[in-house]
A and B are shown apart, each in its own frame.
Chain A
Amino acid sequence: MAFESRPFEHDVDTLLDIEKTPLQRLAYYGRFLWRDRGGMIGMFIFLTVVVAALFSPQLSPYDPLDQRLRDSKLPPAWAADGTWDHPLGTDNLGRDILSRIIYGSRVSLTVGFFGVLIAATLGMLIGSIAGYIGGRVDSAIMSIINLILSLPYLLFVVFIAAILGRSLLNVILIFGITDSPIFARVTRGEVLRIRRSGYVESAISAGARWPHIIVDHIIPNLIGPLITLATFEMSAMIFYEAGLGFLGLSVPPSVPSWGNMLANGRKYLTNAPWIAAAPGLAIMYTSLGMNLLGDWLRDVLDPRLRRARR
């Protein structure tokens, strides 16, 4: 989906981009964020989830593991017989759902962050080797990657999660490794594009050495597309982690995670639907935010795509 624009259609702002100091550029991005409502909302959502994960103990009204069977299946505050003691109600064991949602953000963000970190590191390594060496090595690596990407991803993730057993580390490793081909493909494409670009060619003809070209030209130009990809992939991992949890294949059942809560809530769907509703809304909220943020980042970090947003 390349939206190639013609040079004369660029913003005047964009053309002046190169002449700006880093601080001015940051201010420019800030203005761009202000102008883009979707990006603002996405950033706000993402920050709230990060704050919830960082300050879970301070924000949670109760201990997420605290069971009070006397208080089981209390409805949320807006229901006819709900109270503000438990704003989102309680689950079948009398645990406070709001507190569990807040703590659940920790699992989701940890999996998303470290999963993407591993995937991006592996992928960048493989992708830059392919793009840099080129020739047969490149076409061999790329055909393997394209074929891996055409396999039924979810099925293999479920398969391997069932074998390795339930632990946070296993989930992170599974996503980190299985997601790396996407990063490799994007990195390789960008490395090739940058290597062939006019400014790298002129740098070479001016006698620049490869270390200089890699540090000054290739890496700065790789960061934009990879950050955008990382945002979308993080959102996808949060999604898939919850899905694995729903099947009982993610973190151990004692850990409050959105997927585990959803799996538990499914059993009480007819008489206590709020147990399943809350974690689903949390996943949707996070995913919506990260997708909006990703769309915005793509616009800002890749000026070639700006036109497509109108």
Chain B
Amino acid sequence: MHRYFLSRVLQSVLLLLGVVVLVFFMVRITGDPASLMMPRNATPEQIEAFREAMGFNRPLIVQFWDFFTHALVGDFGNSLHFKSPALPLVIERLPATLELATAAMLMAILIGVPLGLLGGFSPGSVLDSLARLVGLLGQSIPNFWLALIMILVFAVRLGWFPSFGRDEWKSVVLPAFALGLATMGQIVRLTRSSTLEIRSEDFIRTAHSKGLLPRTIYTKHVLRNVAIPLVSIIGVQFGYMLGGSIYIEFIFAWPGIGQLLEQAIGWRDFPMVQAIAVFTSVAVLALNLLTDAAYMIIDPRIRYGIRE
């Protein structure tokens, strides 16, 4: 177990180094990072001065070494827009994004898991149809469009929730629902199908024939086995939300990392974009490691090194 986990940590660290290399070369694909980062109406002299100031005229290998060694200690240079170090500005936005993603995930789990279980317990029932519908819609409704429609209905027409910002607890409801719907759909489908599958396993029949109470069977045997695939999907989806909240934060003017990314692209502030990409990757990889650890705790087969 420890060896497996250690190798996962090592792989993640290697990938992070890869991400740093990637973001260095990404701003250079067009060949000229200086004109990429300067306003479209900049004069050739201004671009030349900027190139000089940023050191883009040095040999590539020197630039790379400079970027790489600084990035390793969290220095991505100054944001071009704010004229101050980029990484602290990104970290400042983390609480808002975490709050949104957590609220979205809670909504997805609290609605998705019970609905999936109920659907799986009674296939063909009304609840089961509802579960399948939520599963399908979660997959098919674009979250950015759902967000617009919800603003129109619940903020503009009905006035129940604010349409943008992060001022009161009510502010998080609409963006969290829009962000969480796709995950809710996935959770419903996964919970429903694994419940269906586990219900027909031999050990469940054995449990029934031993005379265990149905309640005990569901909580002790079914739920525990449903939880295993759920944990991995919840971990993956949470990571997806951290990187994928850009539309929702943009639409609801939610002051998180996604909104910052959208703004930084508008400002052509690529040092900031680089910092966001690396920082979010760190967060997502850390989350994956946590998911792995959680996996080992709930699934003894993995803990004892019996891996499929």
A-side residues, CB < 8 A to B, are: 1, 3, 143, 147-148, 150-156, 158-160, 162-164, 239, 242-243, 246-247, 249, 262, 265-266, 269-270, 273, 276-277, 279-280, 283-284, 287-288, 291-292, 308, 310
Indicate if B180 sits at the interface (CB-CB under 8 A).
no
Asked if A150 meets B277 with Cβ closer than 8 Å, knowing A284-B141, A308-B193, the reply is no
Contacting pair B251 A266 (CB below 8 A):
yes
Which listed residue, B15, B19, B29, B152, touches A270 by the CB 8 Å rule?
Answer: B152
Shortest beta-carbon distance, A149 to chain B, in Å? 9
Number of interface residues of B (CB under 8 A): 55
A155 CA / B279 CA spacing, docked (Å)? 11
B197 surroundings in chain A (CB, below 8 A): 3, 308
Residue B11 contacts which of A143, A158, A242 (CB distance < 8 angstroms)?
A143
* Shortest Cβ gap from A270 to chain B (Å): 6
B284-A159 in contact (CB<8A):
no
* 9 A-B pairs with the lowest CB-CB distances in the bound complex, closest first: A152-B243, A280-B145, A288-B140, A155-B243, A147-B15, A287-B140, A162-B265, A154-B244, A283-B142
Asked whether, in the complex, the Cβ of B11 is within 8 Å of the Cβ of A262, the reply is no
A265 to B146, CA, bound (A): 13
Q: Given A150-B285, A164-B29, A243-B247 in contact, is the A155-B277 Cβ separation under 8 Å?
A: yes
Q: List 15 A-B contacts (CB under 8 A).
A: A1-B229, A150-B284, A151-B15, A153-B243, A158-B261, A159-B265, A160-B26, A162-B265, A163-B270, A164-B30, A265-B148, A270-B156, A280-B145, A283-B142, A287-B140
CB pair A152 B244 closer than 8 Å: yes
**Chain B residues positioned under 8 Å from A147 (CB to CB):** 11-12, 14-15, 18
- Are B144 and A262 in contact, CB atoms less than 8 angstroms apart? yes
Once the chains bind, are B246 and A154 in contact (CB under 8 Å)?
yes
A144 to chain B, nearest CB (A): 8
> Complex: how many Å from CA A160 to CA B265?
10
Say yes or no: B142 contacts A280, CB within 8 Å.
yes
Q: B152 near A269 (CB under 8 angstroms)? A: yes
Contacts of B96 in A (CB 8 A): none
B273-306 near A? 1/0 per residue, CB < 8 Å: 1001100110011001000000000000000000
Interchain CB contact (< 8 A) of A163 among B26, B151, B236, B244: B26
Question: Is A152 a contact partner of B240 (Cβ separation < 8 A)?
Answer: yes
Residues on A with beta carbons closer than 8 Å to the beta carbon of B142 = 239, 242-243, 280, 283-284, 287
- The DSSP consensus for interface residues of chain B is helix
Q: Is the CB of B280 within 8 A of A152?
A: yes
CA distance in complex: A158, B260 (Å): 13
**Residue B78 at the chain A interface, CB threshold 8 Å:** no
Smallest CB separation, B198 vs chain A (Å)? 11
B247→A246 contact, CB < 8 A: yes
Min CB–CB distance B221 → chain A (angstroms): 19
Asked if A162 meets B273 with Cβ closer than 8 Å, knowing A147-B15, A243-B247, A280-B148, the reply is yes
Q: How far is the CB of B294 from chain A (nearest CB, A)?
A: 15
**A147-B15, A155-B280, A280-B148 given. 11 additional CB < 8 A pairs?**
A147-B14, A159-B265, A162-B265, A269-B152, A269-B156, A270-B152, A273-B152, A284-B140, A284-B141, A287-B139, A291-B139
Is B75 interfacial (CB 8 A cutoff)?
A: no
Chain B residues with CB under 8 A of A150: 15, 236, 239, 284-285, 288
Given contacts A155-B261, A288-B140, contact A262 B247 (CB under 8 A): no
Closest Cβ of chain B: how far from A283's Cβ, in Å?
A: 5
Residue B149 at the A interface, CB < 8 A? yes
Q: Is the CB of A308 within 8 A of B284?
A: no
Give CA–CA (A152, B148) in the complex, Å: 24
Contact (A151, B284) CB under 8 Å given A164-B29, A239-B142, A284-B140: yes
- Cα A308 to Cα B244 in complex, Å, equals 31
Check: B250 CB closer than 8 A to any chain A CB: yes
- Whether A308 touches B273, Cβ cut-off 8 Å, given contacts A151-B284, A270-B156, A273-B152, is no
Bound: A243/B246 CA distance, A: 10
Which of A151, A160, A242, A308 has the most chain B CB atoms closer than 10 A to its own CB?
A151
Distance in angstroms from A151 CB to nearest chain B CB is: 6
In the complex formed, the residue of A with least CB distance to B270 is A163
Query: Which B residues lie within 8 Å of A160 (CB)?
Result: 26, 29
Kindly state the separation between the CA atoms of A273 and B148 in the bound complex, as whole angstroms. 9
* Given known contacts A151-B284, A243-B142, A246-B247, A163 and B27 CB-to-CB distance under 8 angstroms: yes
Name the distance in Å between A3's Cβ and chain B's nearest Cβ. 6
B242 within 8 A of A: yes
Inside 8 A of B140's CB, which chain A residues have their CB? 284, 287-288, 291
Chain A residues, Cβ within 8 Å of B277: 152, 155-156, 159
Q: Which of B139, B194, B250, B273 contacts A159 (CB 8 A)?
A: B273
**CB–CB A266/B148 < 8 A:** yes
Assess the A154–B243 pair: CB atoms within 8 A: yes
Which one of A155, A163, A262, A283 lies within 8 Å of B29 (CB-CB)? A163
* A1-B193, A159-B277 given; A152·B242 CB < 8 A: yes
B205 to chain A, nearest CB (A): 14
Bound Cα distance A74, B104 (Å): 36
How far is it, in angstroms, between the C-alpha of A310 and the C-alpha of B120 when the chains are bound? Answer: 11
Distance of A190 from chain B, by nearest CB (Å): 17
| Contact residues in B for A287 (Cβ distance below 8 Å) | 139-142
Is residue B190 contacting chain A, with contact meaning CB distance below 8 A? Answer: yes
Asked if residues B276 and A155 are in contact (CB atoms below 8 Å), the reply is yes
